[in-house]
Amino acid sequence: MYNKILVVNPNSNTENTRWIDEAIQPLRSQDGPEIECRTLADGPIAIENEIQGAQVVPSLCRLIEQESEYTGAFVVACYSDPGVLAARDVTDKPVIGICEAGLSTALNFGDRVGVLHNGVEDIIPAMRGARALGLDSRVVGGRSIDVPMARMDEQGLVLEQMTKAAHQLEDELHASVLVFGCAAMTPFRRSLEKECGLPVIDPAQAAVGMAITAVRCFSQN
Amino acid sequence: MYNKILVVNPNSNTENTRWIDEAIQPLRSQDGPEIECRTLADGPIAIENEIQGAQVVPSLCRLIEQESEYTGAFVVACYSDPGVLAARDVTDKPVIGICEAGLSTALNFGDRVGVLHNGVEDIIPAMRGARALGLDSRVVGGRSIDVPMARMDEQGLVLEQMTKAAHQLEDELHASVLVFGCAAMTPFRRSLEKECGLPVIDPAQAAVGMAITAVRCFSQN
Amino acid sequence: MYNKILVVNPNSNTENTRWIDEAIQPLRSQDGPEIECRTLADGPIAIENEIQGAQVVPSLCRLIEQESEYTGAFVVACYSDPGVLAARDVTDKPVIGICEAGLSTALNFGDRVGVLHNGVEDIIPAMRGARALGLDSRVVGGRSIDVPMARMDEQGLVLEQMTKAAHQLEDELHASVLVFGCAAMTPFRRSLEKECGLPVIDPAQAAVGMAITAVRCFSQN
Amino acid sequence: MYNKILVVNPNSNTENTRWIDEAIQPLRSQDGPEIECRTLADGPIAIENEIQGAQVVPSLCRLIEQESEYTGAFVVACYSDPGVLAARDVTDKPVIGICEAGLSTALNFGDRVGVLHNGVEDIIPAMRGARALGLDSRVVGGRSIDVPMARMDEQGLVLEQMTKAAHQLEDELHASVLVFGCAAMTPFRRSLEKECGLPVIDPAQAAVGMAITAVRCFSQN
Amino acid sequence: MYNKILVVNPNSNTENTRWIDEAIQPLRSQDGPEIECRTLADGPIAIENEIQGAQVVPSLCRLIEQESEYTGAFVVACYSDPGVLAARDVTDKPVIGICEAGLSTALNFGDRVGVLHNGVEDIIPAMRGARALGLDSRVVGGRSIDVPMARMDEQGLVLEQMTKAAHQLEDELHASVLVFGCAAMTPFRRSLEKECGLPVIDPAQAAVGMAITAVRCFSQN
Amino acid sequence: MYNKILVVNPNSNTENTRWIDEAIQPLRSQDGPEIECRTLADGPIAIENEIQGAQVVPSLCRLIEQESEYTGAFVVACYSDPGVLAARDVTDKPVIGICEAGLSTALNFGDRVGVLHNGVEDIIPAMRGARALGLDSRVVGGRSIDVPMARMDEQGLVLEQMTKAAHQLEDELHASVLVFGCAAMTPFRRSLEKECGLPVIDPAQAAVGMAITAVRCFSQN
């Protein structure tokens, strides 16, 4: 009997939650832990800067505290890992952030990790995040796909821009594995991998994968 | 339809293989990938130094090359990650070493990672390994349980020694998460966690968990 | 005509605010910027963990946004630097955290920085903070004075414990400059310096000093 | 009653001393410490390499030793921080170098520090200096304005070249705060800040600001 | 009476061994240790990836173990340092790898080390190697000369391509000393040094030089 | 026909020069470069702090400049490497400092480098030096033998204290190779190696060895 995994989308955009839910679908199994993706109802519509990231922390922590008894592990599904450290103060269950999980998983698939961002303004915060995680000697940098969230449904454009950024990461920074720096990129994982020839890690998949391992192993031996 | 995961114990000690098999049992699921643990028939009886680690590489790579077509991901189940880099030259499937997987997974469960070793002579190679992986700013060091492999079945002794080493890692190095530096320690994971109050990561479980995530996600989206 | 500096104590303990106000008193000058120390009214009574640190961010940012027009620089006066990055999203005026200011100032007074904490549980978060700031090659570690906040008014006890921790930092970690890891330690700066012979940096003084420099120089040339 | 701050220009170019004196003028206050800028009479006309930097050390240390009794803090106003470590052997008063003070102050104004140099030959020594200070994970690099000292009075040229180098630092290295790598650049601080939109730190101002904080606080509490 | 130095070319290409022998010729002296360059008979024809590097380890270690009694120091003359750590398990004599010796020697000739590679695919493994050696803060990167081994005898082409790569290392990465990342580059050392004006270190010369120092000093005082 | 190597003892203690001359005696060969050890006549009697280190630079550079034409390589034989960077401005011949040469050579003999110092006050400057050289991830620390220079001729005392410090470096810091942090320790190299079982590197020997390699190779190919 496995515990549930609760994946929290800390913004209030239910379409994002649906993307995440689809991304992690292959990780569900009949006899495995239930995996629920939930939208943080009072989160902002998007988390695009530090202040928005900070705003979600109190209600995120409240949710995690409330669900702690019935949940085996939590995943916070926003690439800036908002509230992950704070949440660990309110539960003794694992709380996994998709950024740390994505980067630390990527290490196992290539020596030099490059990150794909939506906009150029995401690069500095992401490099600071990698340094805070102590992973800056392997996370070599980021490149922007320069596609606004509103146009992420134009598949041809997105894939073209992603491929361009992927080649920059490989040619300029010698990246050998890529990580998506945004939950909305998931649908392009397989196509991008084919285009650029490098392994591409979806951080939500990486985080949920770790949560499953934790729930399965910690509850049994 | 999922691909198989092949976990290779690169030493020829079949009892080790059985321990690993038991350790990763909770990660098996009815609809998930088959997980086979195999002993490298012509490996040494134990891998306790660099020369033994090097000796297994040719036959390990031969095995991985042969099985590559039918396998979704490989795990090399020895804490020194012998042949992992080499094996990536002979297959395009993921090859995951339990040391890198164990340490990178542990990052998600605590800020400062301490490692439990069988003997004091394992500490320097393990610190070099952490530096090679670029993880030395979070892997704070190792302590030895000082129990020879031959006595690893004396459960009271092992747990007592493990608890002592765990307290050293916490008190002297401020470790906040522990990783087993040997496949034979797995049976003590749950007990040690209770004794010392810190999360304890079994590296074989961490590696197989990553392999499952890869196989499930890479084969579908 | 200089702009005002607003020092925000993000907890709601007005006695803390008074300590900070006394600490920075020597930095006031007749023709310099006004320096106001303000208590964040709806902050928690103390900020002792990540969740409390996160809780103050929304109201801290609201306050900073409201005061931005009339303020030359902000100082966030809690050693965990809560909301400093977030606040920079809501104002174009400098926002200085006392932890980063204290550590970066200390670099100029000695090669190896040691930090004095109230409790042993503060050491790991502080080391993570130093790593996030990229200062971990010079911040060598922390030691606890093991005095609960409630007894910080017992001067003999506090000084004795501080001196003991200072000697540990010097003897065990080769620290050559000390930083207070708590605003309540300020009254002991001079005495501790005499006892231990090392320079002792009060982080609130360091931060306000930087804010004064910024306000004076940025407004004129 | 505050102690005096002695700012030593270690080259014998009195025009440089005058620039520095003007740069730090906003930091003077009626009731604050006296701030004297003095030219090292027997210094070289400029300090442009290691040998010139070394040549000033004996007379710089003699001066500091002589003035130590009447001085609260010393600032060495050359970006290569010549003699700062040596001077600390001859006085127990703070000795602050403008390079270390400039870089460590800049950390508080942006995550990634870029440095503006007079010539391309200054970049390697400056990066070595940042590494020696343990700041190389945040000091991302330097760019040259390629203006010889003799033409630093051509304001249009200098500002144009500075703006170009600033954009290189931002675009190529993702710098988010700039530091002047030369005392003669100070007059352009405000203009460059407007041109490039990033905070610009003058290292002499940063160092004198720290010296004031030290003198005011250390002499009183 | 000095001991012998055995330089092992771990590939079976005897022409490579002859190049190495010529490269180290200036290091021989009448009264110094005998220096023998030997081809590893059962090595692969070239070592161009991890698997080939791993394949040579068992026979390399056998050779070193057999010769240990009569040998004062060993040099492994392949830039990937194959089997160096393993060989240290089978002899108590020094075993020096040309990559580590080349990079660590280069540190003494310039602050920032750039590496010349045969192909672009060599750059990532070499950067990983530098990180494993803890030298990544001074080894700034590599550039490829893009000349296949089969054309290394076209002197004009090779020198032109080397000079181009050297200028890239200097201009793009601020390298101030160069290291050859391949034993076949040795004949161009002097010419390249003249072309590019930077010191150029041949790693086989560096390693044999260290071996001589060790044998001479360790055997006498 | 080889060029001369000039080893400069930058203090004026001719007994020190004699020790260095004896230490490097095994590196002389009939057909090799002449190696002259010279006392810097106007140096201080000892170099025990930064100010003394700085004082020697002008005359050291004058000497090196004068001898540059007739000399193939210079060695500066004081563990604080005084004037090495400065001297490189006055000659195009290699200038090698014994600290950098000793530490970088030691890397080839063991993974973790520990340093033996005369006094506890030498530890912090030496760690700063290792950081400045970018070697701090492998130079794990120093321990003092606590023997004043005046008693360095009491062989029993010195060896006992050295052995004690060596055991501390091995047991507390996991050092696997030792470096002498003082020229006066050379006579004890062989004895200490026997006592503690770790390789012991004399930095003057390491530096002269590198100089010989440079002179032999650079003058011929």
CATH number at residue E124: 3.40.50.1860
pLDDT value of position E1:
45
Say whether pLDDT at B114 is over 80: yes
pLDDT value of position C106:
98
Contact F145, F161 (CB under 8 A): yes
Q: Are strands A4-9 and A71-76 parallel, antiparallel or unpaired?
A: parallel
* Of the partner residues B53, B61, B132, the one whose CB lies closest to the CB of residue E51: B61
Q: Which two tokens stand for residue C201?
A: 């940096």
> Phi and psi of B168, rounded to 5°?
-60, -45
Q: Which two tokens stand for residue E191?
A: 């010419």
Contact list, D128 vs chain E (CB under 8 Å): 111
A174 and A109 in one domain? yes
Interface test with D, best of E107, E111, E136, E140 (most D CBs within 10 A): E111
Contact D175, D192 (CB under 8 A): no
Closest chain E residue by Cα to residue D143: E174
pLDDT value of position C153:
86
Write the CB contacts of F124 (distance below 8 Å, at least 6 apart in sequence).
C111, C112, C174, C176
- pLDDT level of residue C221 (50, 70, 90 thresholds): very low
- pLDDT level of residue A6 (50, 70, 90 thresholds): very high
Contact list, E220 vs chain F (CB under 8 Å): 25-26
A148 and A123 in one domain? yes
Q: Encode pLDDT of B144-154 as tens digits.
A: 999 988 888 89
Q: Encode pLDDT of D102-126 as tens digits.
A: 999 999 999 999 999 999 999 999 9
Interchain proximity D51–F86, CB inside 8 Å: yes
Average pLDDT score over chain F: 94
Interchain proximity D27–C213, CB inside 8 Å: yes
Which residues of A lie inside 8 Å of C (Cβ-Cβ)? Answer: 49-51, 53-55, 57-58, 61, 83, 85-90, 128, 131-132, 134
C54: domain range?
A: 4-97+204-218
CA distances from C151 to C184, C185, F79, F178 (A): 11, 12, 48, 47
* Of the partner residues A104, A105, A216, the one whose CB lies closest to the CB of residue B27: A216
Say whether pLDDT at E124 is over 80: yes
| Structure letter (DSSP) for residue E27 | G
Report the pLDDT averaged over residues B16-34.
Answer: 94
Report the pLDDT averaged over residues E107-117.
Answer: 98
CA distances from F52 to D38, D89, F12, F83 (A): 24, 9, 12, 11
- pLDDT level of residue E91 (50, 70, 90 thresholds): very high
CA distances from B87 to B75, B210, E53 (A): 10, 17, 11
The residue with greater pLDDT, A14 or D1, is A14
The residue with greater pLDDT, F43 or B183, is F43
Report the pLDDT averaged over residues F96-104.
Answer: 98
ipTM surpasses 0.85: yes
Report the pLDDT averaged over residues D16-36.
Answer: 94
C141 and C64 in one domain? no
A112 and A86 in one domain? no
* Of the partner residues E49, E54, E89, the one whose CB lies closest to the CB of residue B49: E89
pLDDT value of position F148:
86
pLDDT value of position B148:
86
DSSP per residue, B83-125: THHHHTTT-SS-EEEHHHHHHHHHTTT-SSEEEEESSGGGHHH
Closest chain E residue by Cα to residue F113: E134
- pLDDT level of residue C150 (50, 70, 90 thresholds): confident
The CA distance from D176 to the nearest CA of chain E, in Å, is 20
The CA distance from F118 to the nearest CA of chain C, in Å, is 16
CATH code at position E25:
3.40.50.12500
Interchain proximity C94–D29, CB inside 8 Å: no
* Of the partner residues E123, E124, E136, the one whose CB lies closest to the CB of residue A137: E136
Average pLDDT score over chain E: 94
Q: Which strands make up the sheet holding A113-117, listed edge to edge?
A: A139-144, A113-117, A177-180, A200-201
Which residues of C lie inside 8 Å of B (Cβ-Cβ)? Answer: 123-125, 127-128, 131, 136
Say whether pLDDT at B68 is over 70: yes
Tell me which chains share at least 3 CB pairs under 8 Å with chain A. Answer: B, C, D, E
B35 and B88 in one domain? yes
Stated as kind and residue range, the H or E segment containing B144 is strand B139-144
| Structure letter (DSSP) for residue F120 | G
Coil/strand/helix, residue A44 = coil
- How many CA atoms lie less than 13 Å away from D98 in the CB half-sphere? 28
How many Cβ atoms from other residues are within 10 Å of residue A47's Cβ?
24
Q: Which two tokens stand for residue F39?
A: 């006392």
pTM for this predicted structure: 0.96
> Phi and psi of E78, rounded to 5°?
-140, 135
> Phi and psi of B41, rounded to 5°?
-55, -40
pLDDT value of position A1:
45
Stated as kind and residue range, the H or E segment containing E89 is none
First-to-last C-alpha distance (Å) of chain B = 13
Report the pLDDT averaged over residues C92-103.
Answer: 97
pLDDT value of position A2:
56
CA distances from A126 to A88, A140, A181, B24, B148 (A): 21, 11, 8, 34, 44
Average pLDDT score over chain D: 94
B198: Cα separation from own chain's centroid: 18
* Of the partner residues D50, D86, D128, the one whose CB lies closest to the CB of residue F51: D86
Can you tell me the distance from the alpha carbon of A73 to that of A214, in angstroms, rounded to the nearest whole number? 7
DSSP per residue, C53-84: HHHTHHHHHHHHHHHGGGEEEEEE-STT-TTH
Q: Encode pLDDT of D162-199 as tens digits.
A: 999 999 999 999 999 999 998 789 889 999 999 999 99
Interchain proximity C176–F124, CB inside 8 Å: yes
Q: Which two tokens stand for residue B55?
A: 């000796």
Residue type, D64: I
Can you tell me the distance from the alpha carbon of C164 to that of C185, in angstroms, rounded to the nearest whole number? 15
Stated as kind and residue range, the H or E segment containing E141 is strand E139-144
Say whether pLDDT at E85 is over 90: yes
CA distances from E46 to B85, C39, E9 (A): 18, 70, 10
pLDDT value of position F2:
56
Spell out a b/e string for C19-32, using b for 16 or more CB atoms within 10 Å of the CB, else e. bbbebbbbbbbeeb
Say whether pLDDT at D214 is over 50: yes
How many Cβ atoms from other residues are within 10 Å of residue A69's Cβ?
9
Write the CB contacts of C158 (distance below 8 Å, at least 6 apart in sequence).
C145, C147, C151, C152, C185, C188
Closest chain D residue by Cα to residue E137: D131
Q: Identify which of B217, B220, B206, B210 has the alpha carbon closest to the alpha carbon of residue B23.
A: B206
Interchain proximity A213–B199, CB inside 8 Å: no
A151: Cα separation from own chain's centroid: 20
Q: Identify which of D203, D24, D185 has the alpha carbon closest to the alpha carbon of residue D101.
A: D203
Can you tell me the distance from the alpha carbon of C22 to that of C7, in angstroms, rounded to the nearest whole number? 12
Contact A12, A213 (CB under 8 A): no
pLDDT value of position D201:
97
Q: What is the 3-state secondary structure (H, E, C) of chain D?
A: CCCEEEEEECCCCHHHHHHHHHHCHHHCCCCCCCEEEEECCCCCCCCCCHHHHHHCHHHHHHHHHHHHHHEEEEEECCCCCCCHHHHCCCCCCCEEEHHHHHHHHHCCCCCCEEEEECCHHHHHHHHHHHHHCCCCCCEEEEEECCCCHHHCCCHHHHHHHHHHHHHHHHHHHCCCEEEECCHHHHHHHHHHHHHHCCCEECHHHHHHHHHHHHHHHHCCC
C149 and C91 in one domain? no
- pLDDT level of residue C3 (50, 70, 90 thresholds): confident
C15 and C39 in one domain? yes
The residue with greater pLDDT, C45 or D143, is D143
Interchain proximity F174–B128, CB inside 8 Å: no
Contact D41, D74 (CB under 8 A): no
Q: Which two tokens stand for residue E49?
A: 């990836």
Give the residues across from C71 on adjacent strands.
C4
E183 and E210 in one domain? no
Interchain proximity C127–B174, CB inside 8 Å: yes
Q: Encode pLDDT of C22-78 as tens digits.
A: 999 999 999 999 999 999 999 998 898 888 998 899 999 999 999 999 999 999 999
E213 and E192 in one domain? no
B152 and B172 in one domain? yes
pLDDT value of position A184:
81
Q: Which two tokens stand for residue C101?
A: 């200011």
The CA distance from F31 to the nearest CA of chain D, in Å, is 35
- pLDDT level of residue B1 (50, 70, 90 thresholds): very low
D62 and D145 in one domain? no
F37: Cα separation from own chain's centroid: 13
Residue type, C32: G
Interchain proximity E55–B58, CB inside 8 Å: yes
DSSP per residue, C101-129: HHHHHHTTT-SSEEEEESSGGGHHHHHHH
- Which of B40-47's residues contact partners 24+ apart within 8 Å by CB, and which partners? B40/B8, B40/B9, B40/B10, B40/B11, B40/B12, B41/B12, B42/B12, B43/B9, B43/B10, B43/B11, B43/B12, B44/B11, B44/B12, B45/B11, B45/B12, B45/B13, B46/B11, B46/B13, B46/B149, B47/B10, B47/B11, B47/B78, B47/B80, B47/B82
| Number of domain units in chain E | 2
| Residues across chain D | 221
**Residue that the structure tokens 């101002």 belong to:** D205
**Residue that the structure tokens 């988390």 belong to:** A47
Residue type, D1: M
Contact list, A83 vs chain C (CB under 8 Å): 54
Report the pLDDT averaged over residues A146-154.
Answer: 88
Say whether pLDDT at F99 is over 80: yes
Tell me which chains share at least 3 CB pairs under 8 Å with chain C. Answer: A, B, D, F
A123 and A47 in one domain? no
Interchain proximity D221–C135, CB inside 8 Å: no
First-to-last C-alpha distance (Å) of chain F = 13
